[in-house]
């Protein structure tokens, strides 16, 4: 019998209006609020606050209530967010009015989402491999094909933790399946009608998905003192 895959959770949420920012911030630990406030645009503040509140909601949903107040929030040596204790790993993504969080235990995860939008592949080809460029050119919708390829790459970069610090050659090589440090990642596109959605993990996982609305998330996450 083939062993079952470990489970990982994915939650996606439409962003609330900027006027809801005070209610979002009240539900985050005081130590996290300056991280949100340093962004000038209200939309950017709401996106980051919503993603962090969605992590609270997802931790509680996964039975990790001891971590769900986010008071264990810290960063590793590369600046990647993490929670001290509990062995939980998570990854954020937010763009185009959406926020998403991937969460798992004993796993290393990366998440990226990009709502559908007009994009010209000719303006974004510097990080593509020749094979990717040819496949995008031949696609029925090259713009959407480009977004899908980028999300797959970005999910791996987030799981790895070094992001663009890897350098252009290493980032380009991901498109050929040559991952940083020869580490094996499972990267896949998930169905999402609103855009491209990609996840990466250090082993195959079974994804449990939810799409709560922001009001439900706030109701489930009481304010923190």
57 DSSP 8-state letter: H
Q: Which residue, 178, 112, 118, 116, is CA-closest to 151?
A: 112
CA–CA separation, 91 vs 201, rounded Å? 10
If asked whether residues 20 and 70 sit together in one domain, one would say yes
pTM above 0.85, yes or no: yes
If asked whether residues 157 and 86 sit together in one domain, one would say no
pLDDT at 120: 84
Residue with tokens 């009240």: 26
If asked whether residues 112 and 197 sit together in one domain, one would say yes
If asked whether residues 130 and 195 sit together in one domain, one would say yes
pLDDT at 2: 57
Q: Which residue, 28, 124, 122, is CA-closest to 81?
A: 28
If asked whether residues 76 and 137 sit together in one domain, one would say no
pLDDT (tens, 9 = 90+) of the chain, 225 residues, equals: 455 899 999 999 999 999 999 999 999 999 999 999 999 999 999 999 999 999 999 999 999 999 999 999 999 988 899 999 889 999 999 999 999 999 999 999 999 999 999 988 887 778 889 999 999 999 999 999 999 999 999 999 999 998 888 888 888 888 888 888 888 899 999 999 999 999 999 999 999 999 999 999 999 999 997
Name the residue range of residue 162's domain.
Answer: 108-204
If asked whether residues 55 and 135 sit together in one domain, one would say no
CA–CA separation, 112 vs 81, rounded Å? 15
pLDDT at 63: 94
How far apart, in Å, are the Cα atoms of 60 and each of 57, 103, 151, 201? Answer: 5, 11, 27, 21
Number of structural domains the chain divides into: 2
Residue 1 lies in a domain: no
Written as six digits, the tokens of 103 are 């969460």
If asked whether residues 200 and 117 sit together in one domain, one would say yes
Residue 119 lies in a domain: yes
If asked whether residues 114 and 200 sit together in one domain, one would say yes
Length of the chain: 225
């Amino acid at each position: 019998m083939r062993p079952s895959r470990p489970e990982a959770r994915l939650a996606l949420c439409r962003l609330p209006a900027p006027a809801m920012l005070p209610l979002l911030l009240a539900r985050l630990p005081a130590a996290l609020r300056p991280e949100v406030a340093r962004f000038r645009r209200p939309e950017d503040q709401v996106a980051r606050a919503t993603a962090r509140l969605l992590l609270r909601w997802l931790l509680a949903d996964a039975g990790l209530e001891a971590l769900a107040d986010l008071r264990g929030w810290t960063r590793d040596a590369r600046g990647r967010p993490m929670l001290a204790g509990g062995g939980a790993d998570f990854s954020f993504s937010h763009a185009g009015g959406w926020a998403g969080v991937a969460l798992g235990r004993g796993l290393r995860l990366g998440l990226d989402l990009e709502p559908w939008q007009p994009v010209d592949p000719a303006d974004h080809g510097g990080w593509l491999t020749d094979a990717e460029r040819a496949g995008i050119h031949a696609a029925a919708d090259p713009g959407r094909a480009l977004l899908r390829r980028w999300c797959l790459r970005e999910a791996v970069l987030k799981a790895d933790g070094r992001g663009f610090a890897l350098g252009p050659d290493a980032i380009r090589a991901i498109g050929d399946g040559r991952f940083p440090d020869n580490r094996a990642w499972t990267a896949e596109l998930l169905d999402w009608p609103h855009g491209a959605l990609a996840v990466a993990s250090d082993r195959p996982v079974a994804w449990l998905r939810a799409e709560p609305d922001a009001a439900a998330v706030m109701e489930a996450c009481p304010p923190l003192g």
